[in-house]
Structure 1
Amino acid sequence: MANHKSALKRVRQTKVRTERNRQRKTTIKTLRKETLAAVEAGDKKAATESLSKFSSAVDKAAKKGLIHKNKAANLKSRTAKAIAAVG
């Protein structure tokens, strides 16, 4: 365990950041599932609205360094491609 005051603070900060990152990743996964569920149902309008929210969340995560920018682009591309297939 950490002994120095600064090390104890770093432990606290890491806990907070880890929880925040976990929450953001969970949000991204949930939004993607919602979008793909709308695609499965054949509801293109709901899927495009959900894609907008999903893309925004993914872009923010990539900007913060939570996920790599190429992964963000990949996720958005695959999801958009699934929506285009419904049309």
Structure 2
Amino acid sequence: MANIKSQKKRNLTNEKARQRNNAFKSELKSVIRTVNTAVASSDKEAAVTALATASRKLDKAVSKGVIHQNNAANRKSAISKKVNAL
């Protein structure tokens, strides 16, 4: 544990950011899982709406700095391929 006051404050903000990022990543996984289950059940309408939601969430994660831009692009590409294959 740090002795310096500013570092103690920084540790607190880092922990808040870590928890926020983990929650956001968990939400991303859930949204992508929704797309995959819609594709597995071959429900085109649900898959398209879930894909739009997932794309929006992935873009938001990039803008917030939670994931890298290329990571989001790869995930969006993978799920859109699955949806377009329906």
Could you tell me how far apart the structure 1 residues matched to 2:62 and 2:84 are? 24
Unaligned regions of 5+ residues in structure 1, if any? none
Question: Corresponding residue for 2:18?
Answer: 18
Could you tell me how far apart the structure 2 residues matched to 1:71 and 1:19 are? 20
Question: Corresponding residue for 2:8?
Answer: 8
Shift of 1:50: 0.6
SS at match of 2:38: helix
Question: Corresponding residue for 2:68?
Answer: 68
- Percent identical: 40
SS at match of 2:3: coil
Could you tell me how far apart the structure 1 residues matched to 2:73 and 2:11 are? 32
- Give the alignment's TM-score, normalised by structure 1: 0.95
May I ask how many residue pairs the two structures share in their alignment?
Answer: 86
State the Cα deviation string for residues 21-73 of structure 1 (Å, max 9, x = none).
00000000000001010000010100111111110110011112211111111
The aligned amino acid for 1:41 is S
RMSD: 0.7
SS at match of 2:85: helix
Question: Corresponding residue for 1:83?
Answer: 83
Could you tell me how far apart the structure 2 residues matched to 1:43 and 1:66 are? 30
Unaligned regions of 5+ residues in structure 2, if any? none
Could you tell me how far apart the structure 2 residues matched to 1:51 and 1:5 are? 45
- After TM superposition, where is structure 1 displaced by more than 6 Å over at least 4 residues in a row? none
Question: Corresponding residue for 2:53?
Answer: 53
- Give the alignment's TM-score, normalised by structure 2: 0.96
